[in-house]
Amino acid sequence: MSNIKFVIEKSPRIPRLIEHLYANMPEIEADRAELVTESYMQTEGLPIIKRRSAAFRHILENIPIVIRPEELIVGSNSIAPRGCQTFPEYSFEWLEPEFDTIATREADPFYISPSTVERLKKVHPYWKGKTVSDLAASSMDPLVYDVFMNHGMFTVGNYFYNGIGHINVNYAKVINCGLEAIIDEAKEAISKLYIGKGDYIKRKQFLEAVIESCEGVITYAHRYSELALKEASECSDSTRKEELLKIAENCDRVPGKPARNFYEACQAFWFIQQLLQCESSGHSISPGRFDQYMYPLFKKDLDEGKITYEKAQEYIDCIWVKLNDLNKVRDAASAEGFAGYGLFQNLIVGGQNEEGIDVTNDLSYMCLEATMHVRLPQPSLSIRVWNCSPHDLLIKAASVTREGLGVPAFYNDEVIIPAIMARGLTLEDARDYCIIGCVEPQKGAKTDGWHDAAFFNMCRPLELVFSNGYDKGELIGLQTGEVENMTSFEEFYDAYKKQEFHMIEMLVNADNAVDYAHSVRCPLPFESCLCDDCIEKGMSIQEGGAHYNFTGPQGFGIANMTDALLAVKTLVFEERKVTMAELKQALKDNFGKGIIPKKALELTTEVVKELDSQGVEVNENIIKSVYNNISTAQSIPEEKKKRYQEILDMIDALPKYGNDIPEVDSFAREVGNTYTKPFEKFTNPRGGIYQAGLYPVSANVPLGYQTGATPDGRLAYTPIADGVGPASGRDTKGPTATANSVARLDHGVASNGTLFNQKFHPSALSGMDSLEKFVAYLRGYFDQKGMHVQYNVVSKETLLDAQKHPEKYKNLVVRVAGYSALFTTLSRSLQDDIINRTEQAGL
Amino acid sequence: MTSNIYEQPGRIFDIQRYSIHDGPGIRTIVFLKGCFLRCRWCCNPESQEYKIQEMTMAGKTKTVGSDVTVGEVISEVRKDEIYYRRSGGGMTLSGGECLSQPDFSEALLRAAHEYGFNTAIETTAFAKREIIERIIPHVDHVLMDVKHMNSAKHKEFTSQSNELILENAKYIAENASHLIIRVPTVPTFNDTPEEISAIARFADSLPNVTELHLLPYHRLGQDKYAGIGRDYTLAHLTPPTNEHMQMLLDAAEKVSSKLKVQIGG
């Protein structure tokens, strides 16, 4: 049995850095918004690419900078720890009505000072009609815009309101060659342009913008060098003074010139990581294969005796802390879909190189150790797994999983490499993939993946089948016929597929409109120069400069739709126990269950407004009775409710996805393909193709909140199943059965990524023996061509909730007494025992 | 026994997958119905009767026990084949008492071996010698209880005396490929250092036995007694503390020459 490798002592500096970072609520700052506006006012009439580089440089030369106490790696986009800037060039209107509520909203609140509000209000009017968002809206077909804005069939909100991000850039080039080399490369490219060519002008403008952007970044680093020198001269603590002098030296050197040692490489990496998130508001700027491009200088320092493992670990830990210093404010609705201040900076370790050789190294382990040390949400740590992954790397990873942070996420090389090759990548590029954002694979520094292009709620087309294409009284779908008149399951299923395809076409139009708007209004010269083949093509990423171009919209609800369609097939068409009319009414009446409180409140408000507008005098009693009726379904007769309960019981008794039943699972695969396959024929404005994913981030909750009851027995406005996993609580045969079911989906077709969450109790992973078995379990899932999996090792709070709502936790594994069992199958007293035990273990 | 082992019928009451704390690797446990003993602390009281019965838990009544063939059980066990290969796991027969359905158990174990799965049984070893002789060749790991060295006390708490069990222990130790002795450590029954030492001395005397597992008493199953209309007679007991278990472990190690003693299994 192996031991856990690379257990390295944590520097006492790290907890202090974290404490400082989390002392206050994150804050919105106005400096960037002011600076970008100032610059835009001065550059009207210039080509957009030059306006972008001028604005970026203006920001970098003037934005306030700060070195936080005890930092070794410096560079912050805001003065406030975990603060954020705003990006009015993308959108701003959503922020204004939220000025008063943003500090108290449920998802991701931010403090905003009165003076910041004033400063933002001053610059916002300039942007009216000029934003990416404005152009995207006017570029969509009117019906598509209506469906996106008002009907919640899908959302492209992320890139509609914000930058795109979702990229990995050439960190290695900056570390090894420096930005000055990129400036030289751009100058060289300009010198080779032929004046007689039609694209001469655009190429030259782009390359000049690259030079200006890189110069701006070097200037910014030098400002930090000067600040560090100044602080050193005022510092009385001799140790800190030394540190500050070293920081000054680093920032003078990188990222302009090549890094000479590991510490400089860390600082160079950080400036790039940080400033990509200053140029644009796009998230999921993913460091990718950090253990690979950082390794040469680490190894060199180690061999020359210039660094210890402890010191290198401290630098890595410092970077991990800094990744949590960056932040982004989103509109209230988007914040729910990306809840948790997530920036999704995905960093992956292990896996094979371009030649197919495993290249796990010391840093792979130390990155896992860093996550153990900082215990923070960023980076989104991932690990590549294949047949030649070292066993002890997986044991180390499992020991991190056991900590309950939900990381690392595990990725299967054996599925991802062929999947992305099928999308046109070379074998070498495919082998060198990294992960972007949540779960999206790409070849780093060469791809504009436009991952996360949209959320598509697979439950909504089924609603359109029941309504014959109507939503909120408007015809937005196809008229597939009155559902009561359908005579076979094939007809019904066909109607679903038609409605779904129709919505997919609309989604494509919406995405392409947003894509186009970014290319016109926000091309990004700095990001572009760090991605192949932009310099060579003389074209920004947003215009199609990257080597590989994709658009990746993700669908979710596969479990609900599998169970729902099978319920209709079995109960309505085969066994004829329920008529279609009856089912339609049951869905409308939410199976007689009443509406969840939050939604009931909203609906009450609507009814009251309607009454008010009709001149009805509304008093408190009327409001109360409206609310009660909605929340408890009082107006539905008891007899009907009884019948609805019978229907629910019949649905409940049917076999469900997630229980290792081959017939059900193969239908799930087919349902998944109804979403993923159609995308293969669509193209984007950057000359690339669409590739679908199957994952929801956290949007399965807010978008579930917009979805009525479904025939799988899911009640109205409750969450939709997350990722490719079974609907919550419906898998009852243990973790191997669930994994076998999930592995039966076609993960390869969903080449934009699939997401499988599993829950374990920490006790199921305690001790080396359990870790070994856990790794075997993971390998077994991957042997069957699962693509991704991550584990929630659950806490006491969850266990308490599992007691209150056992139906949601039927698959929660706990260690009992010498064996493991499903938590909800245990007696109440034993559950209490285990909960108390957990508390003791937490001491 | 039927000529085709896959057609051999038997009676089970549960199959549990992803068992990771009983035997090597990831295992699937098949719980057989029926047992010769009536241990008062038994955590599966619904397993003791051979007859199919009803149990009411949290207001819901379910049938405990179903008649199946070896083929049906094996097709369920095979679902986790890939995990056994990765982990060196396999199938474990538990119960109930697998020796109370010898034809079924033998056929199941042989079928598992035909598929190359590791096999284990959890047993009281309370059975005729010829039954044990039939079963043991098909078992890779025997997890056998020795509950008490005093026959009268054994009988008081389990309904059977211990002579047959101790005799069989010697046979199994000599003939099984691997034997682990387990002691459910139950307050008021066997949780004094003297009682545990006596068991340890016995286990130590068995040829080839090097592992002794002390399993602390727990209340699992308490609610099930009411569910099948029986009294739980040990409701007054509290599980032993970690310190107490450690003390018993020390006592066991003190008297043994070759045993590795551990708490939990």
Enter the ipTM: 0.90
Highest mean pLDDT among A94-108, A685-699, A800-814, B145-159: B145-159
Residues B69-96 have a mean pLDDT of 96
Q: Are A526 and A179 in contact (CB under 8 A)?
A: no
pLDDT of residue B44: 92
- What's the whole-number average pLDDT of chain A? 93
pLDDT surpassing 60 at residue A841: no
Contacts of A770 in chain B (CB under 8 A): 20-21
Answer whether A827 touches B (CB < 8 Å).
Answer: yes
The DSSP call for residue B57 is: E
Q: What is the span of the domain harbouring residue B125?
A: 5-263
| Inter-chain touch A830–B80, beta carbons under 8 Å | no
Out of A733, A816, A830, the one facing B17 most closely (by C-beta) is: A733
Among A552, A562, A560, which Cα is nearest to A679's? A552
Residues B183-210 have a mean pLDDT of 96
pLDDT of residue A757: 83
| Inter-chain touch A773–B224, beta carbons under 8 Å | no
pLDDT surpassing 80 at residue A559: yes
Question: What percent of chain A shows pLDDT beyond 70?
Answer: 96
Q: How many residues are given for chain A?
A: 843
Q: Residue A92: which pLDDT band, with cuts at 50, 70 and 90?
A: very high
Contacts of A843 in chain B (CB under 8 A): none
Q: Which amino acid is at A619?
A: N
Q: A681 in helix, strand or coil? A: helix
pLDDT surpassing 90 at residue A472: yes
Highest mean pLDDT among A278-292, A326-340, A750-764: A278-292
CATH of the domain at B114: 3.20.20.70
Global pTM? 0.92
pLDDT surpassing 60 at residue A2: no
The DSSP call for residue A100 is: T
Cα separation, A60 vs A578, in Å, equals 66
| Inter-chain touch A777–B26, beta carbons under 8 Å | yes
Answer whether B122 touches A (CB < 8 Å).
Answer: no
Residues A694-706 have a mean pLDDT of 82
Residues A71-82 have a mean pLDDT of 97
**B146/chain A closest Cα distance in angstroms:** 17
Answer whether B211 touches A (CB < 8 Å).
Answer: no
pLDDT of residue A813: 61
Residues A813-829 have a mean pLDDT of 58
Residues B162-169 have a mean pLDDT of 97
Answer whether B221 touches A (CB < 8 Å).
Answer: yes
pLDDT of residue A792: 77
Contacts of A814 in chain B (CB under 8 A): none
pLDDT of residue A843: 23
Contacts of B89 in chain A (CB under 8 A): 773, 776
Residues A567-584 have a mean pLDDT of 98
**B1/chain A closest Cα distance in angstroms:** 31
Q: pLDDT per residue over A196-213, tens digit each?
A: 999 999 999 999 999 999
Cα separation, A347 vs A434, in Å, equals 8
Q: pLDDT per residue over A622-633, tens digit each?
A: 889 889 989 998
Domain count of the fold of chain B: 1
Q: Which of residues 655-714 of A touch B (CB under 8 A)?
A: 660
pLDDT of residue A811: 59
| Inter-chain touch A783–B21, beta carbons under 8 Å | no
**Both tokens of residue A86?**
């705003």
pLDDT of residue A837: 55
Lowest mean pLDDT segment, chosen from A725-729, A759-763, B56-60, B248-252:
A759-763
A91-122 burial: b if 16+ Cβ within 10 Å, else e: bbebbeebeeebeeeebbbbebeeebbebbee
Answer whether B161 touches A (CB < 8 Å).
Answer: no
pLDDT surpassing 60 at residue A838: no
**B15/chain A closest Cα distance in angstroms:** 9
Residues A21-27 have a mean pLDDT of 90
Q: Residue A701: which pLDDT band, with cuts at 50, 70 and 90?
A: confident
pLDDT surpassing 50 at residue A345: yes
Lowest mean pLDDT segment, chosen from A792-801, A826-835, B207-216:
A826-835
Q: Are A363 and A393 in contact (CB under 8 A)?
A: no
pLDDT of residue B141: 97
Out of B17, B222, B224, the one facing A736 most closely (by C-beta) is: B17
| Inter-chain touch A773–B20, beta carbons under 8 Å | yes
Q: What is the DSSP string of A517-553?
A: HHHHH---HHHHHTSTTHHHHT--GGGT-SSEEEEEE
Residues A509-532 have a mean pLDDT of 98
Q: Residue B8: which pLDDT band, with cuts at 50, 70 and 90?
A: very high
pLDDT of residue B37: 97
Interface test with chain B among A777, A807, A811, A843, by most B beta carbons within 10 Å: A777
pLDDT surpassing 50 at residue A727: yes
**Both tokens of residue A762?**
């920490």
Q: Residue B23: which pLDDT band, with cuts at 50, 70 and 90?
A: confident
**Both tokens of residue B162?**
């211990």
Tokens 């900076």 identify what position?
A345
Answer whether A167 touches B (CB < 8 Å).
Answer: no
Answer whether A841 touches B (CB < 8 Å).
Answer: no
Q: Which of residues 235-254 of B touch A (CB under 8 A)?
A: 239
**A17/chain B closest Cα distance in angstroms:** 38
Answer whether A815 touches B (CB < 8 Å).
Answer: yes
Question: Between chain A and chain B, how many beta carbons pairs sit less than 8 Å apart?
Answer: 90
pLDDT surpassing 50 at residue A553: yes
Among A535, A643, A517, which Cα is nearest to A193's? A535
Q: Are A335 and A157 in contact (CB under 8 A)?
A: no
Q: Which amino acid is at B231?
A: D
Q: A346 in helix, strand or coil? A: strand
pLDDT surpassing 80 at residue B253: yes
Q: Are B211 and B221 in contact (CB under 8 A)?
A: no
pLDDT of residue A764: 81
Q: Is B139 left (phi over 0), alpha (psi -120 to 50) or beta?
A: beta
Interface test with chain A among B15, B17, B20, by most A beta carbons within 10 Å: B20
Tokens 């549960």 identify what position?
B14
Interface test with chain B among A1, A827, A836, by most B beta carbons within 10 Å: A827
Among A621, A630, A622, which Cα is nearest to A599's? A630
Cα separation, A274 vs A292, in Å, equals 20
pLDDT surpassing 90 at residue A107: no
Lowest mean pLDDT segment, chosen from A231-240, A442-451, A825-834:
A825-834
| Inter-chain touch B87–A784, beta carbons under 8 Å | no
Q: Interior CA angle at A351 toward A175 and A738, to 5°? A: 135
More confident residue, A292 or A157: A292
Q: Which of residues 13-42 of B touch A (CB under 8 A)?
A: 16-22, 25-26
